[in-house]
A and B are shown apart, each in its own frame.
Chain A
Amino acid sequence: MNAAGILQIVVYFAVLTAGAIPLGAYMARVYSGERSWADPVLRPVERIIYKVCCIKADQEQHWTVYAFSALMFSVVGLVLIYAIMRLQAMLPLNPASQAAVAPDLAFNTAVSFTTNTNWQNYGGESTMAYLTQMLGMTVKNFTSAATGMAVLVALVRGFARRQAKTVGNFYVDAVRSILYVLLPLSIVVTLALVGQGMPQSFDAYTQVTTLEGAKQVIAQGPVASQVAIKHLGTNGGGFFNANSAHPFENPTALSNLIEMAGELLISAGLVFAFGRMIGDTRQGRALYITMALMLVVGITVCYWAEAAGNPLVQAMGVDLTSSDLAPGGNMEGKEVRFGIANSAIFATATTGTSTGAVNAMHDSFTPIGGMVPLVNMMLGEVIFGGVGCGLHGMIVFVIIAVFIAGLMVGRTPEYLGKKMEAREVKLAVLCILIFPLSILGFGAVAMVLPVGLAGMSAAGPHGLTEVLYAYTSATGNNGSAFGGLSGNTLFYNTTLAAAMLIGRFLIIVPTLAIAGSLAAKKIVPPSAGTFPTHGALFIGLLIAVIVVIGGLTFFPVLALGPIVEHLALAAGTLF
């Protein structure tokens, strides 16, 4: 660790916060239907969309209809992207002549992009046609993100409304998310990224003769337009196999900052929007501080572990010192232009959110450095989290936290004037239990079946971590991987797809049920006995609840994976 690295972390938080606060104010206006600067251009477009698509924009929906609309929208998109992948060989815009994607891989990928996971059991440049990347991946990046944002907005309305039967209109919330937030930001970010060197063309792969006379085929394509929304929508599915480590997908340290800030910007902005929409900005600020504190701790641990590097490599006389002349540390799977600090920030940010893009290979991190992204996902992707999903996940933890606080003082818990009763707490617990059930359940199955064990590339505890990481990433709808795992097999394609579906829809439905139940309640004015949820005491309690739940659930398996590997590395034991 050095001053230059720490300064980059500070710059990152400054850029993020400076962007998130105004964006939050803007999004609060958009979702409340208030006028905004974009109205003259976008309102007419919005009206045309509703008309063409038979959407009754002025009709609000009960939470069950809202949930069903979200499901239908996802299912139709899933079928379409599956069909595009299966038919790509017959479709235009395929200069590299990519063949049809195999059925199990196409299914896994379709589910992956529908659930905002963007787990990739394929290499983009060697599998997908340009048309598939555009009609399939790029479109899904927008729609899956918009779905998450819509669900959050419905939940926020649940808090803001009193004795209401409806939580909004799903299609309106989704369309507004795309038109007013995701698309304008994507256009700006696309152009900024091309300026940094990211390709945006339909050129065929370029064949060059290198200085030493060898042939090199350079893959390219319409990269920037997909990468912009990949980060803004916390999707994370790379245009190229190496994702944001690829120099075309992340050419400079500045493009890296844009990508890292982009993947948290909307999630962080939504936290501030939440405060405004419920009429108490202090509540949004408290959640922002909670998330930022957890992110700082993660980045620091990861940076420290990676900067220290691999002691066995150091023992060979290799120089691991970080300076103005060398990145030092553990550079396996990392790029020189980013170095250690930016790889640690990226890894922590991409897993705190549900982005799952990578600019360095997590599989080759040191055991503790690699445990940070894993733990981030196990905590439920609530450290800013996916666009929408992160905040509604955090609110579920808030419900548990106020419930525990209520038990301690013997009062009915309440949050934002809504009484948290048996129904809400049960639904919140359901959301929390689905996580370990899927991760540990599928992980255990993979550990006893030969087809599961065959996928591991590493022996010893690291192999367990690879499998554990895969199911955690899939259930958390993250999409980053310990890339050594051979996931493109029938077993992993199907079980990972199942984990992604469980992690998406078995969370969305109870969340919307909570929204419906809250909307129907009265708002109780705060009294002397109300537990304030905007102060340091509450932030501390909330962090403790998240860490204790995550810790109790996953500590045993972490002890068998990264923790024992760390001890083995220190002792010089290899596998």
Chain B
Amino acid sequence: MFKQLVPATLLTLLLTVLLGLGYPLAMTGIAGTLFPTQAHGSLIERNGTVVGSALIGQSFTKPEYFHPRPSATTDSDPADPSKTVPAPYNAASSGASNAAPTSKSYIGGIWALVEQIKAENPDARIPVPVDLVTASGSGLDPHISPAAVEYQLPRIAKARHVSEAGLRALVASHTEGRVFGILGEARANVLRLNLVLDERWPVE
């Protein structure tokens, strides 16, 4: 029976070379030629420096920027590497809250977030959209819903001294609908929106 060990070992080694080196290397070569930007992470440059990736959310807290969704990513604690500390939008360690729907601390946390967001956006005209108070699965969600854009719009108009109507028109042209009108959900890319804001109405 143990004579099966020979073909099993040889086949494993051969497949390791073929599928573990040949296949990914060939795919890297072809993909890099066909889709050079995407294959290297869809990076965005401004004035010659890389400011982020079109697919990876980043943290925004200033009032003049659209804010992304809450992020539950963490980083190791500099004081004690065995522990972690909150580090929103840590793109080297993706992750979610994994909070239970019946968790006291989770529901309490949402309550605090709702209060904080209402305080930050005193002029908002619609109820708080759910995506603004819930952490995404990756902790790196680059998008917010059109409702979350509209919710924050009065705050940004005020901070950048522009009319809400003008801002709304600009934002509308940077909101994407469902793919083919069918798949997924409508959304706006927060980093792209904020880049456009800086370009159009820079903050002095």
Quick check: B20 and A139 within 8 Å, CB to CB? yes
One of A65, A199, A574 near B1 (C-beta < 8 A): A65
Chain B residues within 8 Å of A186, by CB: 23
Quick check: B12 and A80 within 8 Å, CB to CB? yes
Chain A residues within 8 Å of B21, by CB: 134-135
Tell me the bound Cα distance from A431 to B177 in angstroms.
48
Residues of chain A in range 212-268 having any CB-CB distance to chain B below 8 Å: 212, 214, 216-220, 222, 224-226, 240-242, 245-248, 251-254, 256-257
Contacts A224-B27, A335-B141 given; indicate if A135 touches B49 (C-beta within 8 A). Answer: no
Contacts A4-B178, A338-B185 given; indicate if A76 touches B104 (C-beta within 8 A). Answer: no
Contacts A318-B128, A337-B184 given; indicate if A327 touches B145 (C-beta within 8 A). Answer: yes
Tell me the bound Cα distance from A349 to B135 in angstroms.
23
**B103 sits at the interface (CB 8 A):** yes
Residues of chain B in range 120-146 having any CB-CB distance to chain A below 8 Å: 126-131, 133-146
Quick check: A53 and B7 within 8 Å, CB to CB? yes
Quick check: B98 and A55 within 8 Å, CB to CB? no
Chain B residues within 8 Å of A222, by CB: 24, 27-28
**A339 sits at the interface (CB 8 A):** yes
B181 to chain A, nearest CB (A): 9
Contacts A65-B4, A76-B9, A186-B23 given; indicate if A364 touches B92 (C-beta within 8 A). Answer: no
Contacts A135-B21, A190-B31, A336-B69 given; indicate if A76 touches B8 (C-beta within 8 A). Answer: yes
Quick check: B136 and A333 within 8 Å, CB to CB? yes
Chain B residues within 8 Å of A316, by CB: 110-111, 114
Q: Identify which of B41, B43, B54, B99 gathers the most chain A CB atoms within 10 Å of its CB.
A: B41
**B85 sits at the interface (CB 8 A):** no
**B153 sits at the interface (CB 8 A):** no
Quick check: A363 and B98 within 8 Å, CB to CB? yes
**B162 sits at the interface (CB 8 A):** no
Contacts A216-B52, A318-B133 given; indicate if A484 touches B98 (C-beta within 8 A). Answer: yes
B196 to chain A, nearest CB (A): 11
**B79 sits at the interface (CB 8 A):** no
One of A53, A190, A199, A319 near B10 (C-beta < 8 A): A53
Quick check: B31 and A247 within 8 Å, CB to CB? no
One of B49, B61, B110, B129 near A212 (C-beta < 8 A): B61
Contacts A240-B94, A324-B186 given; indicate if A251 touches B133 (C-beta within 8 A). Answer: no
Residues of chain B in range 178-193 having any CB-CB distance to chain A below 8 Å: 178-180, 182-187, 191
- Nearest residue, chain B, Cβ from A323: B147
Quick check: B58 and A252 within 8 Å, CB to CB? no
**A52 sits at the interface (CB 8 A):** yes
- Nearest residue, chain A, Cβ from B191: A211
Residues of chain B in range 90-113 having any CB-CB distance to chain A below 8 Å: 90-104, 106-107, 110-111
Quick check: A210 and B51 within 8 Å, CB to CB? yes
Quick check: A72 and B98 within 8 Å, CB to CB? no
Tell me the bound Cα distance from A326 to B60 in angstroms.
21
**B34 sits at the interface (CB 8 A):** yes
Quick check: B10 and A52 within 8 Å, CB to CB? yes
- Nearest residue, chain B, Cβ from A322: B185
Q: Identify which of A318, A358, A360 gathers the most chain B CB atoms within 10 Å of its CB.
A: A318
- Nearest residue, chain A, Cβ from B68: A336
B143 to chain A, nearest CB (A): 4
A252 to chain B, nearest CB (A): 6
- Nearest residue, chain B, Cβ from A251: B55
Quick check: B50 and A336 within 8 Å, CB to CB? no
**B169 sits at the interface (CB 8 A):** no
Quick check: A332 and B101 within 8 Å, CB to CB? yes
Tell me the bound Cα distance from A455 to B117 in angstroms.
33
Quick check: B23 and A225 within 8 Å, CB to CB? yes
- Nearest residue, chain B, Cβ from A170: B4
Tell me the bound Cα distance from A175 to B138 in angstroms.
36
A314 to chain B, nearest CB (A): 9
Chain B residues within 8 Å of A125, by CB: 92-94
Chain B residues within 8 Å of A38, by CB: none
Interface size on B, residues (CB 8 A): 106
Tell me the bound Cα distance from A142 to B147 in angstroms.
43
**A547 sits at the interface (CB 8 A):** no
Q: Scoring B residues 60 to 92 as 1 if CB is less than 8 Å from chain A, else 0, what string do you get? A: 111001000100000000000000000001111
One of A206, A245, A320, A462 near B43 (C-beta < 8 A): A206
Quick check: B101 and A366 within 8 Å, CB to CB? yes
**A171 sits at the interface (CB 8 A):** yes
Quick check: B130 and A333 within 8 Å, CB to CB? no
Chain A residues within 8 Å of B42, by CB: 197, 199, 251
Q: Scoring B residues 6 to 35 as 1 if CB is less than 8 Å from chain A, else 0, what string do you get? A: 111111111110011101100110111011
One of B32, B38, B138, B148 near A335 (C-beta < 8 A): B138
- Nearest residue, chain A, Cβ from B150: A325
Quick check: B96 and A483 within 8 Å, CB to CB? yes
Tell me the bound Cα distance from A549 to B6 in angstroms.
42
Tell me the bound Cα distance from A141 to B53 in angstroms.
28
Contacts A80-B12, A484-B100 given; indicate if A201 touches B146 (C-beta within 8 A). Answer: no
Quick check: A248 and B41 within 8 Å, CB to CB? yes
Quick check: B58 and A211 within 8 Å, CB to CB? yes
Quick check: A210 and B58 within 8 Å, CB to CB? yes
Tell me the bound Cα distance from A312 to B32 in angstroms.
48
Quick check: A574 and B130 within 8 Å, CB to CB? no
Q: Scoring A residues 89 to 101 as 1 if CB is less than 8 Å from chain B, else 0, what string do you get? A: 0000000100000
Tell me the bound Cα distance from A4 to B114 in angstroms.
28
**B195 sits at the interface (CB 8 A):** yes
One of B5, B7, B100, B183 near A256 (C-beta < 8 A): B183
**B40 sits at the interface (CB 8 A):** yes
- Nearest residue, chain B, Cβ from A460: B102
Contacts A212-B61, A242-B138 given; indicate if A364 touches B97 (C-beta within 8 A). Answer: yes
Q: Identify which of B4, B11, B140 gathers the most chain A CB atoms within 10 Å of its CB.
A: B11
**Interface segment, A397-405, A497-505, A533-541, A565-573?**
A565-573
Q: Identify which of B131, B140, B183 gathers the most chain A CB atoms within 10 Å of its CB.
A: B183
Tell me the bound Cα distance from A123 to B140 in angstroms.
15
Quick check: A8 and B99 within 8 Å, CB to CB? no
Quick check: A218 and B12 within 8 Å, CB to CB? no
Chain B residues within 8 Å of A457, by CB: 98, 100
Q: Which 9 A-B pairs have the closest CB atoms?
A: A253-B184, A245-B137, A339-B185, A242-B94, A484-B98, A326-B147, A253-B183, A242-B138, A135-B20
21 A-B pairs within 8 Å (CB atoms) are namely A8-B182, A72-B8, A73-B8, A138-B24, A194-B27, A201-B40, A210-B58, A214-B59, A248-B55, A254-B179, A254-B183, A313-B134, A319-B126, A319-B129, A326-B145, A333-B96, A336-B143, A361-B96, A483-B95, A569-B101, A575-B104
